[in-house]
Structure 1
Amino acid sequence: MVSDQRISRHTTFILLLLMGYKSTGFGVNQCLKVPTMHLDAANKIWNFLQVNDNLIKSDVIVGLGSHDPRVAIETALLWLQGWADIIVFSGRLGNLTAGRWNRTEAEVFRDIAVSMGVPSCKIYTETRSQNTGENIRFTYQLLKTKYRIPQRIILVQKPHMGKRTSATFWKEWPQESNTPEMSLIVRTVRITLERYPSEDVGDLSDVISVMMGYIQRLPLYYNLGFQVYVRVPGDVWESFRLLQQTDIYNSHLV
């Protein structure tokens, strides 16, 4: 989508950033204390929850706020590669960032993107939302008021939030009769479960615990009307039950 020269301008930044993450856990194998049977079950869930649709030139890239700055990096890289005209970062403070960050998730992510070379005038920040449903609704309101209602959107999210993000979007994004049909592309940060732990997201046990809460909420939130239906295969539920029965990874279950 863009020349190699434009991408190479940011190579040094990315390499230094990755080196910094290694010192705090990013890229470090932290699975030794997790039994192999648990890790196999967790990977089954991890792989199911990810979504990486084929990229299409879009109107906007929306980076959904969280405790993982790699979402901001992926969002900025997609913009630098020319996949959309503008970026929206959405998020106030959620369960995993409240009390840890002194600025909103959207503001933290914006600053990362700007440091990578994205012009600040190409970034909108939505700083009210505190959950995925609000991310979607408030981003729609912001774009309708300050930009335009897009026809194509790329949503960027953490790896284990891909399925929930897509399901929530189709429930919460207003479908107005006088607007063209919406095209949605969901991209999750591409990284293995074993390499995902970092200072920001915690160790491997922390990551698995959060992921357990995410998959448990798929049917719960459908029943509550928060998202559309997502079919979860039987072997994925078997993996969930195996991990649940250990009582090690249940801190984020409801």
Structure 2
Amino acid sequence: MISVQAWSDAQRLWDFQQMHHEPRPCSVAIGLGSHDLGVADVTVDLYQRGMFPLIVFTGATSRTTRARMPRGEAEHYRERALELGVPAPAILVEPNARNTGENINFSRELLAERGVDVSSVLLVSKPYEERRAYATARILWPEIEIVSASAPMTLSDYVDSIQDPHLVLDMLVGAQQRLLLYPEQGFMIRQEVPESVAEAYERLCASGFTSRLVPVR
């Protein structure tokens, strides 16, 4: 049973993790691979609204997706987009990335190989990973404009869609930890974390929502 305090703390992290950008036309979209096909759905919706002419879906598999996406996250995203009416020439697949940094770097390399001129990217992720993805892209691709996007869902709706509340809270805590650790390692830009968010994170860690934390050396 998840306590009222834990839900309140999770909501604070959820709100902070989103960048609250207004989608606007960009050179290309990059859909970051994950267990969540909703990322593909959001990318398709933005494509159909004319926000970009080209999509890159990026991602191999992980412990979370190996069983449900055996052909790789990017390939399953591509299949979903084709089902929803996106023409095949508008989709590029980057099948090798296994973390957010590789998602950005490998997509950048693929676009350069294809001769695509990029001045801005609409970066589509899960709702609770917008800020992490944005911070990573800013340090790895600083010369372009990054616009963040995700499914416009409440935390409650997202938990209902995943059907595993504890996993969602674990992932929120993991995303927050990376925002605290990775700037020190040069993996993302540093961002100010409000004290209330830091305190919520610490309480969730103390309550055992730790399965997605990375080891601290």
Q: What's the TM-score, normalizing by structure 1?
A: 0.80
AA aligned opposite 1:89: F
Residues 114-134 of structure 1, C-alpha deviations (whole Å, 9 max, x = no match): 111100111000011100000
Paired position in structure 2 for 1:213: 174
Segments of 5+ residues of structure 1 without an aligned counterpart are 1-32, 176-180
Shift, 1:147, TM fit: 3.6
Q: How does 1:137-176 map to 2 (within 5 A)?
A: 137-173=105-141
CA distance in 1 between counterparts of 2:7 and 2:40 reads 27
Shift of the 198–107 alpha-carbon distance from structure 1 to 2, 3 Å rule, reads farther
Paired position in structure 2 for 1:250: 210
Segments of 5+ residues of structure 2 without an aligned counterpart are none
Q: The residue matched to 2:155 in structure 1 has which SS? A: coil
Q: Does 1:190 align with 2:155?
A: no
Shift, 1:197, TM fit: 2.5
1:136 pairs, out of 100, 104, 116, with 104
1:224 pairs, out of 179, 182, 185, with 185
CA distance in 1 between counterparts of 2:51 and 2:19 reads 17
Residues 137-174 of structure 1, C-alpha deviations (whole Å, 9 max, x = no match): 0000000111413112100000110111011001112x
Note if contact 1:73-1:112 (Cα within 8 Å) is conserved in structure 2: yes
Note if contact 1:49-1:162 (Cα within 8 Å) is conserved in structure 2: yes
Q: Does 1:239 align with 2:207?
A: no
Shift, 1:55, TM fit: 2.1
Shift, 1:95, TM fit: 3.9
Q: The residue matched to 2:158 in structure 1 has which SS? A: coil
Q: The residue matched to 1:197 in structure 2 has which SS? A: helix
CA distance in 2 between counterparts of 1:237 and 1:206 reads 20
Percent sequence identity over matched residues?
34
Paired position in structure 2 for 1:90: 58
Shift, 1:104, TM fit: 0.8
**Aligned structure 1 segments of 4 or more residues deviating by more than 6 angstroms:** none
CA distance in 1 between counterparts of 2:104 and 2:186 reads 15
CA distance in 2 between counterparts of 1:147 and 1:61 reads 15
Aligned-pair Cα RMSD in Å: 1.4
Structure index of larger Rg: 1
Residues 170-217 of structure 1, C-alpha deviations (whole Å, 9 max, x = no match): 1112x5xxxxx5221111221111111257x45111100111011011
Q: How does 1:72-111 map to 2 (within 5 A)?
A: 72-111=40-79
CA distance in 2 between counterparts of 1:214 and 1:97 reads 17
